[in-house]
Chains A and B, each alone.
Chain A
Amino acid sequence: MKHVKTLNTKNLRGTVKKGGCGECQTSCQSACKTSCTVGNQSCEHK
């Protein structure tokens, strides 16, 4: 595209069917302990 550069390859819509296994890390255990930061967690099945 001439005007647009898209940065990501993953579309959240695609995770509706495949997601939700619950095996991923609990967000608060990793580093924060006083906030909720989920967007930087990783998926166990990526």
Chain B
Amino acid sequence: MSLIHQYKNNGYNILLDIHSGCVHVVDDVVYEAVTLMDEGCEAQETAARLTGKYPKEDVETAIEECLTLKEEQMLFTEDIYQEAVRDFKGRQSVVKALCLHVAHDCNLACRYCFAEEGEYKGSRELMSLEVGKKALDFLISHSGARKNLEVDFFGGEPLLNWEVVKELVRYGRSQETLHNKRFRFTLTTNGVLLNDEVMEFVNREMANVVLSIDGRKEVHDAMRPFSRGAGSYDLILPKFQKLADARGQENYYVRGTFTRYNLDFAKDVLHLADLGFRQISVEPVVASPEEDYAIRPEDVSRICEEYDFLAKEMIKREKEGRGFQFFHFMIDLTGGPCVYKRLSGCGSGTEYLAVTPTGELYPCHQFVGEEGFSMGNVFDGLTGEEIRREFADCNVYTRDACRDCFARFYCSGGCSANAYKLSGNIKGTYTVGCELMRKRVECAIMIKAALAQ
């Protein structure tokens, strides 16, 4: 297996040492030397093969530098993590995050909604305060020694049950000192019911807010209409701008979905940036292949071109002092998560669970209502130990497609729900998703290279 991922993008020769995470921007001599060495050539043979093409002195110093980096475990680093990650996954048994489905109901009828317009294969329901409190109690009692607990108010549309959201935040805060915990509340909303009172509360209490908007008006309105067909863009946009400004343009995301109908989605990202948003996430729809808007394998190359275009535009804007964050190009080369986090996945079904309006537990929001994935309820506790174990065993070493993928330290094996929906198995592979993930990692690193100049 290759120890290095090397690629050229936007004029940069980039080497990613897969197992150390080290990123090197190199000249042509080193780039070619590393290709040969990664294939198994010794230093002497590598030098012999490159001399003639490049000046002898350059070849010698290039190989010296490669060997120095190898000595310092920054190049050709071996994988030493497999056992450590398996032990780590084996010992995890706490729950630290809940996705609270406070409303299985929605005031929009988005065409691509995985919750089937908010109802999740069930009927329209709101979570009662009693169920919500019980869910927070469940989280506290299952969180062991973890101090930081996360609760996302999700739906459907959570603002349809706003009074309960507020009461639950108050209840959570009242429990923090008692149990030595800290709640991070977040909210995901379509914005239809946002008003000044909601904004004031959200800005005081919510660590992050996810605001759903797809980009250009015509793109947004085509996929995110009201049930009678009218678009929602004009109603929500000014509210989102006001909220983002009130939060100082931090700790929020405008989050969009792109589909086959807007493969030129960079225009949507830039549209959102031009509207003043500084924290932007726009990602590919995940849908059954039979849906007309689903991304098809033949769309991948077009999407990759679009990511390249977006990356270059972001570099340009950053240098002009009008940069913005794009969630999928964010990468932290000087810090970032530890290797356990990187290799063990999102925590669905183990440390992260979803709670339905009636208090049923599922591995994550995308599994809600899926037959065979119920994991008990907040009143009687966790059941479904077999399901928990299956999710606990999900990591990059148990997914076939991850073993040889350079991006496994960045996506951590991908989304189990996507894998299940597209391959029928939570450890399966959503190939299109993988290809796009790899491209995004390459772009993210290239942006760092460009901005380091």
A interface residues with partner B (beta carbon < 8 Å): 1-13, 15-16, 18-20, 22-44, 46
Q: How many A-B residue pairs have CB under 8 A?
A: 214
Q: How far is the CB of A8 from chain B (nearest CB, A)?
A: 4
Given pairs A19-B340, A26-B97, A30-B186, 18 additional interface contacts (CB within 8 A): A1-B65, A2-B65, A3-B26, A4-B69, A6-B23, A6-B69, A7-B445, A12-B19, A16-B338, A22-B146, A23-B147, A25-B184, A33-B365, A35-B328, A35-B418, A39-B441, A40-B328, A40-B410
| B173: Cβ under 8 A from any A Cβ | no
| B327: Cβ under 8 A from any A Cβ | yes
Q: Are B352 and A28 in contact (CB under 8 A)?
A: yes
Q: How far is the CB of B176 from chain A (nearest CB, A)?
A: 15
- B25-75 interface (Cβ within 8 A of A): 25-27, 29-30, 58, 61-62, 65-66, 68-69, 73-74
- B7-29 interface (Cβ within 8 A of A): 19-27, 29
Q: Which listed segment binds A: B80-88, B130-138, B385-393?
A: B80-88
CB pairs A–B below 8 angstroms (29 shown): A2-B62, A3-B58, A3-B61, A7-B23, A7-B333, A7-B445, A10-B336, A16-B84, A20-B338, A20-B340, A25-B148, A26-B352, A30-B186, A30-B208, A30-B327, A31-B255, A33-B210, A34-B415, A35-B437, A37-B327, A38-B346, A39-B441, A40-B328, A40-B330, A40-B336, A40-B410, A41-B341, A42-B335, A43-B336
| B190: Cβ under 8 A from any A Cβ | no
CA of A1 to CA of B69, assembled, Å: 10
Q: Are A36 and B188 in contact (CB under 8 A)?
A: no
Q: Are A20 and B97 in contact (CB under 8 A)?
A: no
| B270: Cβ under 8 A from any A Cβ | no
CA of A2 to CA of B449, assembled, Å: 16
Tell which of B73, B331, B338, B341 has the most Cβ of chain A within 10 Å.
B338
Q: Are B345 and A36 in contact (CB under 8 A)?
A: yes
Q: Dominant SS at the A interface? A: loop
Q: How far is the CB of A18 from chain B (nearest CB, A)?
A: 7
Q: Are A46 and B342 in contact (CB under 8 A)?
A: no
The contact size tier of chain B is 35 or more
- B410-453 interface (Cβ within 8 A of A): 410-415, 417-418, 433, 437, 441, 444-445, 448-449, 452
**Given A7-B449, A8-B21: A24 in contact with B147 (beta carbons within 8 A):** no
Tell which of A9, A20, A28 has the most Cβ of chain B within 10 Å.
A28
Tell which of A4, A28, A39, A40 has the most Cβ of chain B within 10 Å.
A39
Q: Are B88 and A39 in contact (CB under 8 A)?
A: no
**Given A7-B449, A31-B253, A34-B366: A19 in contact with B331 (beta carbons within 8 A):** no
CA of A46 to CA of B73, assembled, Å: 21
| B264: Cβ under 8 A from any A Cβ | no
Q: Are A11 and B338 in contact (CB under 8 A)?
A: no
Q: How far is the CB of A38 from chain B (nearest CB, A)?
A: 4
CA of A9 to CA of B114, assembled, Å: 40
- CB-CB under 8 A from B146, the residues of chain A are 22-23
Q: Are B410 and A6 in contact (CB under 8 A)?
A: no
Q: Are B29 and A37 in contact (CB under 8 A)?
A: no
Q: Are A36 and B412 in contact (CB under 8 A)?
A: yes
Q: How far is the CB of B168 from chain A (nearest CB, A)?
A: 16
| B283: Cβ under 8 A from any A Cβ | yes
CA of A28 to CA of B208, assembled, Å: 12
Tell which of B20, B336, B340, B347 has the most Cβ of chain A within 10 Å.
B336
Out of B21, B283, B331, B452, name the residue touching A11 (CB < 8 Å).
B21
